Amino acid sequence: MITAPSTAEGFPSAAPRASGSEGFLSAEDLAALNPPPVIGTPGEFPFTRGIHRSMYRGRLWTMRQFSGFGTAKDTNERFRFLLAQGQSGLSTAFDLPTLMGLDSDDPRSSGEVGRLGVAIDTVDDMLTLFQDIPLQDVSVSMTINAPAAVLMAFYLAAAEERGIPWDRLRGTIQNDILKEFHAQNEVVFPPKPSVRLVIDLIEFGARAVPQWNTVSISGYHIREAGATALQELAFTLSDGRHYVEETLQRGLPVDAFASRLSFFFNAHNDFFEEIAKYRAARRLWAELMQDEYGATEPASWKLRFHAQTAGCSLQSQQPDVNVVRVAYQAMAAVLGGCQSLHTNSLDETLALPSEQAVTLALRTQQVLAHETGVADHVDPLGGSYLVESLTQSMHTGARAYFQRIADTGGMLAAIEGGFFRREIAESAYLYQQQFDRGEHIIVGVNRYQSDEDVRPEIMSIDPDVETDQLASLRRVKNLRDISDVARTLDDVRRGAAAGENLLPLLIAAAHTRATLGEMMQALGDVFGTFRFAEQ
């Protein structure tokens, strides 16, 4: 039967492991589930089996490799290389100063400019980043959160300056601050104004950039921080609920924005558990949207998601083995019905991926799509005793977490009380203890080790990147009209204090070449700053 391991408080934290008394399940086990599973039909409510009737037979998932490093010019070259290799969408990684809303010339940025992603200080960097790339044809994803509204303002200002209408733009901005508070830690402002910025972008996008996914509600980082699959599922959907509830507060009807909410999940090692997680996520979201928020458009019910293979599962010992891990994880994401996928590169525990490693990761997806045949079948695991049982228990477990969060007083109270961070840290430590005891076997690490020292060629960042970026920022600053900048920044401060939607004000500031750091400072003057108080 199905057993759900429990935490000390009696709530399931780890996914249940289905194992009949002899290691298999049967029709009786499925019939005995209470409540019974809702399997349904692909493309129909509640979409357990996928959001499209024909799934990949109609259109393959988007192969979207996350990349970015150095200056905007360096990343632009990598983007054009990836498009030439057959990648179908772009995904932008920003450097840590940008993620934290700091300019490259801020003393706190020193040593980190262009290192883990591309450095963007002004709209001019954004123009360089997408130079010669037809933004009306390519979908662009941007992984940015605390300063998401500012980066979106840069992007929209850049499109305006290139004469591309906003309604032609397609893409996704992550804009998910709640998981930053739970797990990823790139936060600048306190929770309340941080969420307000997220909602400003959702609201503005619904009106002005209709094809843009204004938030990518992310479980990926929650999982990487140590959460279980169930926690990833439950916390991510809880975050989604909070955004929906806050946007409804603005008076926007649910069907006006719900179809632009997208999701981002981890693709981890436990193959069937991962597939069950995606299937349960779709069903839960469809039920929530219809029953709790009264959405009537089918597009509002459908949970669309991007998946990325688990960075934390990669090992630095025998790094070639990572290719195999990534391939299985990617297959789980595809059997789970993802809309787009990033496959990690084998060398990511050592450094940023080399061009060769990125190509191999992309090829892994291409083999999956064109050679394995998995794309020819819609939800091939639907009806499997095991997968349906797991899906059902994920569903039940997530509902129990929703109740717990509500009992804590809702999302913001749970954040302030440290609920999510405690839960995740607990799971991370539990996993480490199990690993230390040898209960998890990791090939090449605690079993099948090899003395052979394989060192893949590693990409290193040109040490001149920081100098180059500082020089180009200086140039922009010298050429701009400082009184225009000051005026638009005052408008941002005023709008922040008055509760106006900040996007139009940030876009105006972007056109004057106000920097990311200046705009974030203007917002911080009103919102205050935030530090984590670990418990």
Site residues for other proteins per CB under 8 A: 96-97, 99-100, 102, 108-112, 115-116, 184-186, 224-226, 312, 314-317, 349-352, 425, 428-429, 432-433, 435-438, 442, 445-447, 453, 455, 458, 461, 531-535
C-alpha to C-alpha distance for 460 and 186, rounded to whole angstroms: 24
Between β-strands 261-267 and 340-342, what pairing exists: parallel, antiparallel or unpaired? unpaired
Tell the smallest beta-carbon distance from residue 397 to other proteins (Å).
22
Tell the smallest beta-carbon distance from residue 198 to other proteins (Å).
18
- 8 A C-beta contact, residue 77 and residue 101: no
Tell the smallest beta-carbon distance from residue 440 to other proteins (Å).
11
Between β-strands 2-3 and 139-143, what pairing exists: parallel, antiparallel or unpaired? unpaired
Between β-strands 139-143 and 215-218, what pairing exists: parallel, antiparallel or unpaired? unpaired
Tell the smallest beta-carbon distance from residue 97 to other proteins (Å).
6
User: Tokens 């044809």 appear where?
Assistant: 137
Tell the smallest beta-carbon distance from residue 533 to other proteins (Å).
5
- Would you say 159 or 183 has its CB closer to other proteins? 183
CA angle 458, 318, 229 (to 5 degrees): 95
What separation in angstroms does the CA of 1 have from each of 22, 23, 30, 333, 506?
9, 9, 10, 26, 56
Q: Give me 66's structure tokens.
A: 């996350």
* Cα end-to-end span (Å), the chain: 37
Tell the smallest beta-carbon distance from residue 148 to other proteins (Å).
16
Tell the smallest beta-carbon distance from residue 501 to other proteins (Å).
24
- Would you say 1 or 458 has its CB closer to other proteins? 458
Q: Give me 307's structure tokens.
A: 């998946």
What separation in angstroms does the CA of 25 have from each of 22, 176, 230?
8, 38, 21
- Would you say 86 or 417 has its CB closer to other proteins? 417
C-alpha neighbours within 13 Å on the C-beta side of residue 33: 26
Tell the smallest beta-carbon distance from residue 532 to other proteins (Å).
6
Tell the smallest beta-carbon distance from residue 336 to other proteins (Å).
24
Which of 149, 198, 172, 96 is CA-nearest to residue 412? 198
- Would you say 53 or 108 has its CB closer to other proteins? 108
What separation in angstroms does the CA of 285 have from each of 50, 62, 246, 271, 407?
12, 22, 17, 22, 20
Residues 84, 85, 87, 90, CA torsion sign: negative
DSSP letter (8 states) at residue 318:
S
- Would you say 100 or 288 has its CB closer to other proteins? 100
- 8 A C-beta contact, residue 493 and residue 195: no
Tell the smallest beta-carbon distance from residue 150 to other proteins (Å).
17
Q: Give me 47's structure tokens.
A: 């979409």
